[in-house]
Structure 1
Amino acid sequence: MNDSRFMKAADIQEILGVSDSMAYKIIRQLNDEMIAKGYHTVRGRISRKYFEEVFYGSSAKED
């Protein structure tokens, strides 16, 4: 896992211990949520900040 602004399916697989297809499903769901809020997204990637807010309640850098 790297420290870029966006996460790939492999990053989500490693963090959550889920399958490849589940990781992509999570990315699609989170991207749909971001689109509904008016944000732009990158297909197949998810904002690391948004992922951390959804799964941990805050950005990991705040801890």
Structure 2
Amino acid sequence: MKSNYMIGVEEVSAELGVSKGHAYKVIRELNEELSKQGFIVVAGKIPKAYWETKFYGYNTMNVAI
């Protein structure tokens, strides 16, 4: 089963509860950040891992078990 690691404007729009136009703006800003770090970017898409890090703090969140 193929797992897509990129998310597009539809998912970003639904996740944030904003218009597609605003979702494109958010994706564009995130892609600019990635590009400045030397990563290859795809217009209109963002890696899920980067999305989760930026919006949910998954890489910095401390969870006590």
- TM-score normalised per structure 2: 0.82
Aligned to 1:45: 45
- Residue 7 of structure 1 aligns to which amino acid in structure 2? I
Q: Which has the larger radius of gyration?
A: 2
Residue 5 of structure 1 pairs with residue 19 of structure 2:
no
Q: Which runs of 4+ in 1 moved over 3 A?
A: none
Between structures 1 and 2, the one with greater helix share: 1
Cα distance, 1:4 vs structure 2:
1.9
Query: Residues of 2 paired with 1:30 and 1:11: CA distance?
Result: 15
Cα distance, 1:12 vs structure 2:
0.4
Query: Residues of 1 paired with 2:41 and 2:58: CA distance?
Result: 20
Cα distance, 1:16 vs structure 2:
0.8
Q: Percent identity at matched positions?
A: 36
- Residue 9 of structure 2 aligns to which amino acid in structure 1? A
Structure 1, gaps ≥5 residues long:
none
Aligned to 1:25: 25
Structure 2, gaps ≥5 residues long:
none
Cα distance, 1:11 vs structure 2:
0.3
Cα distance, 1:58 vs structure 2:
1.2
- TM-score normalised per structure 1: 0.84
